[in-house]
Structure 1
Amino acid sequence: MDTTWFKEQLQQSRKELLQHQSSHDRTERQDELSNYDNHPADNGTELFEREKDEALFNHAEKALHDIEDALEKIDNGTYGICEKTGEAIPEERLRAYPEARTVASIKQTGVPSDRPAEEDVLGGFENYNHDEDERETEFDGEDAYQQVARFNDTSLEYEEETGDTDLYGANGVESFEGFLSTGIDGYHGPDSVHVEQNEHYQAYRQRNQ
């Protein structure tokens, strides 16, 4: 197989990647001395852009490594040989992907086969209910549900009496606060206090007669 065309393609791809890396180095963002005046959304956008640039840079680094490896194989006469089986890689595959290391039928490795831990609880709490097992004493799924559900039975009313217990004082304040008031400018002496002739005042007078 004549490798001249493949070598030219690989060298062109390497040139473009090196130019891209050089441009990335020249336009790399500079850190600010302080983020105090930045909006959190701006900081989030900046972080996203940095992570995207880093991912693209890492991808380009790997692509450059594969190209260098393919060029080395061309020089030593091993280009186009599958690293796993030793078979010849079809020319159609090499033309589509000159950096190919294996034949297309080779299963890619490195893909995790374990399942997410969240799938363990998708069946519901009953999968973790050990109440029927007398030997089991752990805090199981049903216990967790019961612990949370008990808050639905809690009254929102605070029943303990504090302070005065008249019509106004039951809220935990002094009874005279129900009928004494000041103007918009607040308290500035006894003359600024007004007595409101309301039910709280009447109840206060009856209790203190």
Structure 2
Amino acid sequence: MPTPAAVAATTPLATDRRRAVMASALITFARFGYHKTSMEQIAKAAHISRPGLYFLFASKEELFRDAVTQSLEEDLNEVERILGAKDRALPERLLASFDCWAGRYVGPLAQDITRVIDDNPALLGDVVDTAPRRFADLVFSSIAARAGRSEREAAAAITQTMISASIGIKHQADDRAAYLERMKVAIEVLLE
């Protein structure tokens, strides 16, 4: 039998409200950390009553998991859209995709969100593994589509090297512009 929160989540208004609450929750988790964040703090940040919050989410764990999953799904859907836009050159599409996946998470608050997610993998379930794999698959497919048959194996290595470069640059860059500048160079070099 579904919980009241699950039933409430099925109405369009509740779905929009859930999305807004999850966005506020991510920022609150980033600010205070998962363990120090209370449902009361999230309710205040989301401009909703605490009982209203519990009506939408049965627990802090559920809210955290759903918020991270929603954010990753939105990112992946946007990456898929960007990579599918064949009217743009591949290097441009790849840079925009890496910006969506990682670049927008460069900076103090964004790093805090990443840290909260990295520090609490057990709460997230398999999305911690499936989302990065899906991103890698999308990048690989775009690179492989451009490559000839003999270069498909190289496409896998190029994909993994781009992802590794992105991770390193993300942790070294002071801001999103610096991330994008360096990632653009990495993409150009790897696609030569």
Same fold? TM cut 0.5 = no
The TM-score normalised by the length of structure 1 is 0.21
- Structure with greater proportional helix content: 2
Q: Which has the higher contact order (CA 8 A, sep 6+)?
A: 2
| Higher alpha-carbon Rg | 1
The TM-score normalised by the length of structure 2 is 0.22
